[in-house]
Amino acid sequence: MSSVQICAYGSPALRKKVVRVEQFDKRLQEQVDRMLQVMYIAKGIGLAAPQMEEMQQVIVIDLQMEPNSEMVALDRKIIPLQLVQPLVLVNPSFDPVNDILILGEEGCLSIPDVHGHVNRYLKIFVKYQDVEGTPHELTCERLLARCIQHEVDHLNGILFVDRISKTERKENAATLKALKARGGIVKYENPSFTA
Ligand SMILES: [Zn+2]
């Protein structure tokens, strides 16, 4: 795959609330595989199905971090973050573990060249199903928690630019307007593709 296209700011697909996955079949596995491939080519750390016009509750995440000591709790077992990646979340929902919010910078594959600061819960408790339909519980914090909150927003038609300050919106207004005018598609090239 030399290049991939995903929905950009202005695309109606990014503004719809998507439906729960009911069928855990081969088609879902293929969709997840495509999403992972697109995320890696676009060099993102997360992707939600509506960004590919798949209107279902599916998220893929790979923070692609250097090995570090960060831990998560998966099904009540404490394990290294590295071991849960790539993370595929089907029908995810989350609750904050406490009310601590943290302001951090975000971007989005669907909104290239725009960055802004968003308040997210520091630590969350996530319920989801894997690609086979098995339910799981995940407690995580910091970047992974932020990424999951950003991607779950996508499943509800919400974009991070809806949550940035008025000042940052003004600063990015021209870029957002230009993106909208481009027709709702953004293309990413795979630089390592040589065929
Ligand atoms: Zn995004």
- pLDDT tens, the chain, 195 aa long: 678 999 999 999 999 999 999 999 999 999 999 999 999 999 999 999 999 999 999 999 999 877 777 899 999 999 999 999 999 999 999 999 999 999 999 999 999 999 999 999 999 999 999 999 999 999 999 999 999 999 999 999 999 999 999 999 999 999 999 999 988 899 998 766 544
Location of structure tokens 């991607």: 151
pLDDT at 70: 87
Token pair for 68: 């570090």
Q: How many residues does the chain have?
A: 195
The pLDDT, as a whole number, for residue 1 is: 66
In this predicted structure, what is the pLDDT of residue 64?
81
- Rounded to whole angstroms, the Cα distance separating 45 from 31 reads 17
Separation of 9 CA from ligand 1 center, angstroms? 10
Best CA proximity match to 24, nearest among 158, 169, 128: 128
Distance 192 CA to ligand 1 centre (A): 24
- Catalytic annotation, pick one of 54, 106, 141, 151: 151
151 in active site: yes
Paired strand residues for 72: 79
- pLDDT on residue 138: 98
What pLDDT was estimated at residue 129? 98
All domains of the chain, ordered by start, with CATH?
3-189 (3.90.45.10)
Calculate how far, in angstroms, residue 47's C-alpha sits from the geometric centre of ligand 1. Answer: 6
Would you give the distance in Å from CA 85 to the centre of its chain?
13
**Rounded Cα gap, residues 98 and 65, in angstroms:** 26
For residue 190, the CA-to-ligand 1 centroid distance in Å is: 19
**Residue 119, Cβ neighbours under 10 Å: how many?**
13
Q: Where are the alpha helices (DSSP H) in the chain?
A: 26-41, 142-155, 166-181
**Structure tokens that stand for 25 in this block:** 């079949």
Which position has the token pair 């509800």? 156
